[in-house]
Amino acid sequence: MRILSIQSSVAYGYVGNSAATFPLQRLGHQVWPVNTVHFSNHTGYGAWRGQVLDPVVVAEVIEGIADRGALDTADAVLTGYQGSPGVAEVVLGAVDRVRRANPAALYCCDPVMGDIGRGMFVLPGIPELMRERVVPAADVLTPNAFELAYLASGVDPSAAATDLFATQDDLLTAVDAVRAMGPSTVLVTSVAHAGISDDEIAMLAVDSTGAYRVRTPRLPLWVNGAGDVTAALFLAHLSTGIELALARVASSVYGVLAATHAAGSREICLVEAQSVIAEPACEFPVERLGR
């Protein structure tokens, strides 16, 4: 695939495009990374240098890709943290432009807005913009459980909430509500409780063929960028079918995180664990859920 990836970027470490580009390239895909911010490191350190790029600059970079005749050949658009309403407008314009040239092109949106324990961490107005305009334009959506809860209800979950979905049916109902907004395929990451034991974490994927869940052991670590890698890998593998894509993504992401935990690293070990990206073992069974 030829993928236009519009996300944040860091010089040190792995989040946004800095996390998504290498895995996609390792799997043989062409990636055109367009950065929305360029920081020295991710904000999880509490201090960083760099700047948020003006939406005009982001649009200019995309226009430059078009000048090369490449934009019309894109097979997919991938987005993560968008940062400002202006960047969201640039994203929507780019998606429309790619689709006009290639109606089969996919828009995979990771609706980065917040998480359990942190709450919403984007600018005021961004969650509403994501819910009302960006999410309906997506074909594939990859929210975490916190983001899914907001998108399905329009209510900002409490940052302290842990049981966002008490049962599996509650989770599936929320996914159905989001799919009704536009995206045909939804991957929910960081699913805890809702029928999951305390020593496990799960991902749930739903499309027109059904709902599928994969569980992996919960690792005692907190790192940034794993969601960015997950969204990129899901897009990369989706052409194989949602069930196999879920198995491959779970295997690769767990392998990267296990290597990160073993190394005691604050940054995910993408390069060191690249073999599990290139050749996922698919060791975790995928369950088809009854509806």
Q: Between 230 and 199, whose confidence is greater?
A: 230
pLDDT single digits (tens) 118-173: 888 888 888 999 999 999 999 999 999 999 999 999 888 876 566 678 888 999 99
% of the chain beyond a pLDDT of 90: 82
Report the predicted TM-score, pTM, of the whole model to 2 decimal places. Answer: 0.95
Is pLDDT of 196 > 80? no
- All residues at 6 or more sequence positions from 211 whose CB lies less than 8 Å from its CB, including other chains: 172, 175, 204, 205, 288, 289, 291
**pLDDT tens profile 12-49:** 999 999 999 999 999 999 999 999 999 999 988 999 99
- Across the chain, mean pLDDT equals 94
Q: Which domains does the chain have, with CATH numbers?
A: 2-289 (3.40.1190.20)
Distance CA 135, CA 239 (A): 21
